[in-house]
């Protein structure tokens, strides 16, 4: 098994001009939770429920350390049109796994506690399918 450390993770997201921008230096946590709807189709004569798979769904939660450059990027795309994204959980070296697709930035929040560092968090709703490939 080849386990990987999160320190090499890469995350890219379109800016307001539609240019894919590497935000990795601002991100401390990224994920890609996915789920698939199921629908019960049980008919008479069964003693256990029967299901079929439905539509898939995914979100992208992000967290990081606040920076004015990152804030301008996120503020410029919140609530707008769909944006391209790329996520490389093991880095962006040739042949490493890359997930990509389109998403909407549905929430962006900054937090500034009196006794700590300023942070940010965001949630994105993936739209359509996710592509799993490799970096060129």
Share of the chain above pLDDT 70, in %: 99
The per-residue pLDDT for 116 is 96
- Give the total number of structural domains in the chain: 1
Q: State the residue range of the domain holding 13.
A: 6-134
Query: Do 88 and 30 form a contact (C-beta atoms < 8 A)?
Result: no
48 assigned to some structural domain:
yes
User: What backbone torsions phi and psi does residue 78 show, to the nearest 5 degrees?
Assistant: -65, 130
pLDDT band at 79 (very low <50, low <70, confident <90, very high): confident
pLDDT tens, position by position, 26-76: 999 999 999 999 999 999 999 999 999 999 999 999 999 999 999 999 999
Please give, one letter per residue, the 3-state secondary structure of 32-64: CCEEEEEEECCCCCCCCCCEEEEEEEEEEEEEE
1 assigned to some structural domain:
no
25 token code pair: 């230096």
pLDDT at 80 over 90: no
Residues in the chain: 136
CATH number, residue 122 = 2.30.110.20
93 assigned to some structural domain:
yes
98 token code pair: 């890359």
Average per-residue pLDDT for the chain: 97
């Amino acid at each position: 098994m080849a386990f990987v450390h999160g320190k090499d993770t890469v995350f890219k997201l379109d800016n307001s001009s539609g240019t894919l921008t590497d935000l990795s230096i601002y991100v401390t946590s990224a994920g890609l939770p996915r789920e698939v709807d199921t629908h019960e189709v049980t008919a008479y004569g069964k003693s256990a429920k029967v299901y079929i798979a439905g539509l898939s769904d995914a979100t992208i939660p992000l967290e990081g350390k606040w920076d004015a450059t990152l804030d301008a990027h996120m503020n410029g795309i919140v609530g707008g049109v769909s944006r391209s994204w790329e996520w490389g959980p093991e880095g962006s070296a040739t042949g490493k796994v890359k997930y990509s697709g389109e998403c909407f930035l549905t929430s962006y929040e900054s937090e500034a506690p009196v006794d700590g560092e300023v942070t940010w968090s965001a949630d994105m709703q993936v739209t359509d399918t996710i592509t799993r490939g490799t970096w060129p």
